Copies of this chain bind each other. A is one copy, B any other.
């Protein structure tokens, strides 16, 4: 059994910037030499989220529009009464989607649908430097 860790670092533009992390995750899985198992990826931080989505430009807009519609930025959030960054909407959106995803690994690669990508969604309302934490667990090549 093998546990290997990795980090995915990038800067975001803030406000629903969506960053495709599929390629970086795949590299971490490949470097781990794990053949069969799982990989978990997590954002340490209360204003980011991770999910899976097809990277089609219209759909990406649709998903952002959905988040803005059910959790508007301009809304009387109590959080904004005491916090000058006024990012109540960022926190609610992040807690709805959640900070992590766990994906199976088979034959040394992520198991994903043809049109399924793993993305980080920047919920904060300003550019941020992000460092995601990946953990690969499974049988290695020596098994």
Q: Which residues of B contact A103 (CB under 8 A)?
A: 42, 100
Interface presence of A40 (CB below 8 A): yes
Give how many A residues have a beta carbon under 8 Å from the other chain's beta carbons: 59
Per-residue interface assignment for chain A, residues 44 to 78, with 1 indicating a CB less than 8 Å from any chain B CB and 0 otherwise: 11100001111011110111001000110000011
CB distance B135 to A104 under 8 Å?
yes
Contact of A42 among B61, B80, B81, B111 (CB under 8 A): B111
Name A residues whose Cβ lies closer than 8 Å to a Cβ of B: 1, 3, 5, 36-38, 40, 42-46, 51-54, 56-59, 61-63, 66, 70-71, 77-83, 88, 91-92, 94-104, 106, 111-113, 115-116, 133-135, 137-139
